[in-house]
Structures are given as C-alpha cells and as structure tokens.
C-alpha cells in the first residue's frame, strides 16, 4: 500500500492542527500503519512560528494519552502543496486561504476536514478564545475524524477477539 502524506492546516498551528497531527500519528501507530502515514501541521498565519502548541491543546491531548508537546508551529509554505497528498483545512476560512495560495500545478488534494471524513460541511471550531470544554470538543471531532480517515484510506481495522 502507498504511503500517504497528510497535512493539517489551521490559522495559528497551535490549537487545532497540532492536535490533528498528533492524533493521526498515534492512531496510525496503534493500527500498525505507522510506515504508511506521514503527517505534519501548519498555520496559514505565521505569528506562532517556532512555538509549542497551546497549553490547553497539550493538556487535552495528554488526557487522552497523546503527547504533542514536542511539536512546533510553522507557517504553511508553497512546497507543502507538492510535498503532501492530502491537505486538510480545519475551517472554511482556512480552506479559502489554501485554495487562494495553491499553485496552479499543485498536486495536493485540498479538503475541509469534516467534509472529507463525515460528508458534512462543518468547521472544527477555533477554540483559542474558548474554554477547556471547547478543546475537548475539538479533540473529539478530530479523533473521530482521524478514525474515519484511517478507515477510508487503509480499510477498517481488523478487530481481534
């Protein structure tokens, strides 16, 4: 099976997309698919370049056994459009931004994440000015979505027992 290169994109690359990256990497590993999934994340904005994820994203990840503390924010770059097969926008603003920036010869597929994984035009809402509950909600959407994504790309997990 072919390796898939998957990029998660949000605005700041400190709240939502770092969680998408960390969750997908961990869930892929748990399914024995580590060698088939390469994932990163980036922000459409560059204000947080080099920063660790927001402490609330680190905390919600940790509470679910996923460590994103070593990840560092970076801004989207033009090479991303050729380096990745699938680029997922967290919300419709991010998607508009991606579409505007994509070079004409871009080989990447650009999608709204929730549309790709559930067929619904829903945003993963920006939790930056929100509460820990909002971060839990983001985590749940991304975790469920990453499960569907892995099912879609690689087939359903073989359940044992």
Size of the site for ligand 4NP (CB under 6 A): 10
Handedness of CA 148, 149, 152, 155 (dihedral sign): negative
Using CB under 6 A as the binding rule, whether residue 47 contacts ligand 4NP is answered as yes
Among 7, 13, 98, 143, binds ligand 4NP (CB under 6 A): 13
The rounded distance, in Å, linking the Cα atoms of 90 and 55 is: 19
Return the range that interacts with ligand 4NP (CB under 6 A); candidates 12-20, 27-35, 77-85, 143-151: 12-20
For residue 111, give the 3-state DSSP assignment.
strand
Binding residues among 15-34 for ligand 4NP as defined by CB under 6 A: 15-16
- Distances from the Cα of 120 to the Cα of 20, 87, 124, angstroms: 18, 17, 11
Residue among 10, 27, 54, 143 flagged as catalytic: 10
Using CB under 6 A as the binding rule, whether residue 12 contacts ligand 4NP is answered as yes
- Is 10 part of the annotated catalytic residue set? yes
Q: Which long-range contacts (CB under 8 A, 24 or more apart) does 34-37 make?
A: 35/3, 36/1, 36/2, 36/3, 36/4, 36/154, 37/3, 37/4, 37/6, 37/150
Return the range that interacts with ligand 4NP (CB under 6 A); candidates 5-13, 30-38, 58-66, 96-104: 5-13
Binding residues for ligand 4NP, per CB under 6 A?
10-16, 47, 126, 128
């Amino acid at each position: 099976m072919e390796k898939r290169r998957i990029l998660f994109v949000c605005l700041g690359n400190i709240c939502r997309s770092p969680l998408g990256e960390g969750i997908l990497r961990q869930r892929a590993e748990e399914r024995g698919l580590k060698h088939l999934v390469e994932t990163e994340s980036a922000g459409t904005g560059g204000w947080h370049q080099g920063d660790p994820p927001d402490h609330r994203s680190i905390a919600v990840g940790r509470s679910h056994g996923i460590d994103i503390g070593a990840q560092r924010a970076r801004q989207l770059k033009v090479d991303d459009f050729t380096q990745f097969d699938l680029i997922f926008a967290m919300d419709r603003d991010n998607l508009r931004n991606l579409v505007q920036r994509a070079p004409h010869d871009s080989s990447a597929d650009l999608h709204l994440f929730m549309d790709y994984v559930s067929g619904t035009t829903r945003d993963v809402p920006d939790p930056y000015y929100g509460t820990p509950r909002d971060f839990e909600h983001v985590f749940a959407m991304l975790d469920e979505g990453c499960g569907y994504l892995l099912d879609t790309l690689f087939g359903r997990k073989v359940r044992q027992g």
